[in-house]
Structure 1
């Protein structure tokens, strides 16, 4: 599972970057593009860091950061989805795929946090 999530979170960051490269270059878009690139890449970076956690509490804390960054990525994807509709830029399908992936990553991470808390309580 660990290797799968490492690859999946890396792919999420790369796919987010590819989406961002397709958006217009303007001050307005750049603000959201920079945020999405930052938080989507943080998902993978923090998941990777969680695998080197020093304790169960450290592991859970790092996974909570992954959850927050994936949720933030989802927020910026939702904004970009709405904006591309308004601006008539045909990227909604690409954005939907990334939104789905962010949602799945969040679900996996939340489940992992619950399991880690149960195991830590024993």
Structure 2
């Protein structure tokens, strides 16, 4: 798989991820806590898609690293909101969060690895 195909696969994967975040936010019961958590998760969980796009258009390696760092930060925040949604629970069937949590973990690993590689390239 070439770099161009790999990049678009990740973009599609992020689009699916963000769509699932939106669907989950829509399913959270509307209470003061539910609304707050849904809004926070929606903000952090959807931020990864546009920031990944910004990384693809980075003007330098430092800019690329910065944008990927934002993606990683937002994914880590989203993981915490997902765990809270499941723990409270804020949805009728908290187990439906498990696949989204698993995808969040995988995306965290992908972005962490990409950052590690980008940082190595920046020091050469």
- TM-score band, normalised by shorter chain: over 0.9
Pairwise mapping of residues 75-114 of structure 1 onto structure 2 (< 5 A)? 75-84=80-89, 89-92=92-95, 94-114=96-116
2:18 to 13, 18, 24: 13
Off by >3 Å, runs of 4+ in structure 1: none
* Contact 2:41-2:78 at 8 Å conserved across structures: yes
Query: Structure 1 28/60 Cα, relative in aligned 2: closer, same or farther at 3 Å?
Result: same
Q: How many residues align?
A: 119
- Segments of 5+ residues of structure 1 without an aligned counterpart are none
Give the alignment's TM-score, normalised by structure 2: 0.91
Q: Is 1:34 the equivalent of 2:43? A: no
Q: In 2, distance between residues paired with 1:119 and 1:82?
A: 40
Task: Give the CA RMSD over aligned residues.
Answer: 1.3
